[in-house]
Amino acid sequence: MDKEMGGAEPAQFFEVFFGLRDGLSNERESLKRYLSDVKEIFVDGSEAEQRLQKENPLIYEYYDLKVPENEGDLAFGTSITYPGKIGKEYFMTKGHFHRILDTAEVYYCTRGRGYVMMENPEKEWDCRELVFGKVVYVPRRFAHRSINVGDEPLVTFFCFRADAGHDYETIEAHGFLKVIMEKDGKPKIIDNPNWK
């Protein structure tokens, strides 16, 4: 092309590349969550502690591209949740509400197999499968968490209103209503025994 392609300028012209297979960008730094960062999210705290004696696995990573937080802008990126379990519980993200609760989010799965667990402040919940090619719509008001039940990375492309914000504290305080555990070699949704 005979025209200069300028540098990235968030919320103005702006582009980024993600590997379609691994979901990773070689231009941006991901945010990495190791077991030591998120051990409290797993039901079996002693299993998490025992694992940490031996190793500190990377549970998930994702991108925050710092799009200005305007209602007319969009935040997006990839999220990669790695395969594995703590006891019988699959690796997963912390999960969060949006601070502007009335904003939705879209997850487009480009690799792997897992679920999006969702719940709203009225304690309604749902759980939808992610497989490559599948888009799951997270409705307004629903907290959401990705859970990898497969044996390869669960890679999703996400998009939400750039001003939506993240409320991690509410979920940290009481946990999700439901968790997914392996039973007889298959994922099963059960009540969260640690729910407060």
185 binds a second copy per the rule CB under 8 A: no
Sign of CA dihedral 137, 112, 172, 65: negative
Q: Phi first, then psi: what are they for 38, rounded to 5°?
A: -130, 20
C-beta separation of 29 from 39 below 8 A: no
C-beta separation of 152 from 82 below 8 A: no
Binding pattern to a second copy, positions 63-92, x when CB under 8 A?
Answer: ----x--xxxxx-x----------------
Cβ nearer to a second copy, comparing 52 with 159? 159
Number of residues forming the site for a second copy (CB under 8 A):
54
Query: CB 177 → a second copy: shortest distance, Å?
Result: 12
136 binds a second copy per the rule CB under 8 A: yes
CA dihedral 153, 32, 13, 16 (to 10 degrees): -40
Cβ nearer to a second copy, comparing 103 with 148? 103
C-beta separation of 91 from 160 below 8 A: no
Cβ nearer to a second copy, comparing 14 with 195? 14
Both tokens of 109, joined, read 């799965």
Binding site for a second copy (CB under 8 A): 1-3, 5-6, 10-20, 67, 70-74, 76, 100, 102-106, 108, 110, 115, 118, 126-129, 131-137, 139-140, 157, 159-162, 187-189
